[in-house]
A = this chain, B = another copy of it.
């Protein structure tokens, strides 16, 4: 399948690759970062779907199913909630918040567990043109409920954001508990959840937890190549967007996108900007795989893989960035042992055929590395990707410590 492609994409330098058992994919460097993740064969096959018109009867039912299943991914059965799938990186979700759910001068509160929460705060400030309040969690932990209560009691907010898993710290926040606390103090505030590194691996109950907007990206636990901003908005979030007097973004303007999404979900084509047909085919395949597996089963399997991996890392004496009770299930952030040079570890593992990630949390970025364990690598049948990674970490540390 990939022979001609291999010629076309011949790497500059010769690199080790890994052959995945029971896979049609060419041997390749295993991508074990917190997104993009490894993809299933069927998802990759769907990426090469021959051309289709965006309003053709070939494509409309595909997009329709994707929107219907996006609701399920977020466990929403409320017909007034609005799934949204747009061609973009996940970050566009932040512009969607700023351009639609906020007006100039409005007040925003961000609960930050790292780099990506801080970036979200930056992004929203572009739209409110006023300071965004940020409550930072201690390193390795989420924001304590007492701090949530204190911040919400001190000032009134239009939008409050929670980053479910910050990809920089590998910390998970208890969205249910924080959302409940926000609701109890400021019932009118819109609750936004950044689920870029959590949708598909951590539980999200859009309706039950009273959330207003949850955003994610395709290339993490959703299991699809990068290029899709995937989100869901509540009725009141939609109403605020529709009531905005002057749109402040063309591409992120929900006043235009909502009718498009509603048309496709009802089996009719519509046009605002051309949807990325092949990525949406791939998302259809991946959402089917996820839902066939069962969401709760998938979450439990991810947790099991993650806990085993973390246990084994700790048994080697390695220290994790996120305290275990705040540890996300889709990735692990691990301090380099003081005895070795961090970049050497990643370089050697890379030369053995596996890509891991450097750190990115301000202040400790050079002191740790990150391993992603989402999707097929963590829960795929007959996949042992996480064992391969653990074996390489152990072996390479021994080599470096010699």
- Name A's B-contacting residues (CB within 8 A): 1-2, 4-5, 8-9, 11-13, 15, 25-26, 28-29, 31, 33, 35-39, 42, 44-54, 56-58, 61-62, 86-92, 94-95, 98, 122-123, 126-127, 129, 217, 219, 225-227, 246-253, 272-279, 281, 284-285, 288, 350, 355, 357
Chain B residues lying within 8 Å of A56, measured Cβ to Cβ, are: 29, 31, 350, 355
In this complex, which of A51, A57, A122, A278 has the most chain B Cβ atoms within 10 angstroms of its Cβ?
Answer: A51
Chain B residues lying within 8 Å of A273, measured Cβ to Cβ, are: 89-92
Distance in angstroms from A259 CB to nearest chain B CB is 15
Tell whether, in the assembled complex, residue B88 and residue A274 are in contact, meaning their CB atoms are under 8 Å apart: no
Instruction: Report the separation of the CA atoms of residues A56 and B284 in the bound assembly, to the nearest whole angstrom.
Output: 27
Q: How many copies does the complex hold?
A: 2
Task: Select A250's contact among B2, B5, B126, B274, beta carbons within 8 Å.
Answer: B126
Tell whether, in the assembled complex, residue A89 and residue B250 are in contact, meaning their CB atoms are under 8 Å apart: no
Complex: chain B residue closest to A372, CB-CB: B53
Chain B residues lying within 8 Å of A247, measured Cβ to Cβ, are: 126
Instruction: Report the separation of the CA atoms of residues A45 and B8 in the bound assembly, to the nearest whole angstrom.
Output: 10
Query: A276 and B227 in contact (CB under 8 A), knowing A42-B4, A249-B126?
Result: yes
Q: Can you list 11 residue pairs at the A/B interface with Cβ under 8 Å?
A: A5-B45, A5-B49, A11-B57, A11-B61, A29-B56, A29-B58, A45-B48, A52-B355, A54-B226, A88-B251, A226-B277
Complex: chain B residue closest to A250, CB-CB: B123
In this complex, which of A2, A56, A278 has the most chain B Cβ atoms within 10 angstroms of its Cβ?
Answer: A278
Task: Select A8's contact among B1, B42, B355, beta carbons within 8 Å.
Answer: B42
Instruction: Report the separation of the CA atoms of residues A29 and B11 in the bound assembly, to the nearest whole angstrom.
Output: 35
Beyond A1-B45, A251-B251, list 12 extra A-B contacts (CB 8 Å). A2-B45, A8-B46, A9-B49, A15-B57, A29-B56, A36-B51, A48-B48, A52-B355, A53-B355, A87-B227, A91-B250, A126-B253
Chain B residues lying within 8 Å of A49, measured Cβ to Cβ, are: 2, 5, 9, 44
